[in-house]
Structure 1
């Protein structure tokens, strides 16, 4: 379904355009904000079909009816917003801040540590997950750990620490995630959406042709694209034991919860700051 709605609200800059960041960008754009997402030149995205960052390679990419379009300069953003789309800019150092001065900055890289976001970068800064402290390097933190507190808005302190254990899905956590056995260039041999069995070869690491095997039965929900260079023990794929092929092509419940929490946090700050003209976070 084509989106003909112009994005005319406040500017929100989202660092990162992977799976969880895309859930945030999707929710913000649906709410009418002018979303600008920044990425690195070669992003690592396992669930690339539902990641706006796929536009880095493809030029444009659609997730659930919303299109992201790669731009070569920040001056192109107004035209993209005018088409109801999300601009994706290669700008890991956030040089775009000087031009657009966003009302809100969301660090959605999910690196488990702060890669340079500072509270003074925008009137409202939000960090996703561990690595940020609300009230110090950002204004707010959103809990990203699966469970009862997923999506909780934290105004003081930190999110739950990184456990290194993937969230539980249908009784599986660490077992469902696939990591590279060695460093090298990944070559995919299966496609996202396929049903696989434990022990199936999903791809290889070029060089020694080390196979990457499926750890269990299920649907291949995520897999890096061929030609991506990875380090040792880097996430290259994941298996969904629920066996629902349709889940491969839609935003996950986790990304939706985080996206909704970001929208709520912005609106909440807007209402609490009414009358204070230094923070304008609402949709015009």
Structure 2
């Protein structure tokens, strides 16, 4: 597949729309216990890292659940997101919706303009399609550097990672200590996709309408497409790459210690 074919692939597809809630909202057998454990974990993390903890939200379904829980429980956890400059408008639109719905500010971190300009001038707008190195370079400029600013001065961060999302995430712990000593909290680690949508339906949680277009995992617009029946959860992310490469770096850090809740 050529660069031109790759970049036009998602626009050539015309995914049908269906309600993600209708399709997926079914709790697993032990959902109530999972929810109780999630709440306990979030409360403990907020207490242990008071004033120095942030939720790094991608604005996907899982992260919207975490944001709802933080707001519902009144936890002192900041909400932060990365506006890469390449997000779908439907994704960016969730930022003001969160602020209006929960009356909580969202910290928005954008890439350094000069770094983006330099990268694009040197490599082109379609660089991510040409090699894994260039795609990761784009992610570094648009995601990794802004994330570093988000986490600066913070002792902990909260994510929406789940073990079910991919093989690479199959052993995600509830709590991990990164090599730099920062704590990473993954309160939905054992939730299923159905659990996530059951919670969204039960609490009327705002969500990205692209989930209704068969996009379970949503990143930057050039790097996301709808998936077909039977495809892997993250098949629509960087779909031209080998499965083992499908991480941007945000969740590929080495850890010093992991612990299960």
The TM-score, its normalising length taken from structure 1, stands at: 0.29
TM-score, length-scaled by structure 2: 0.31
Choose 1 or 2 for highest CA Rg.
1
Which has the larger share of helix?
2
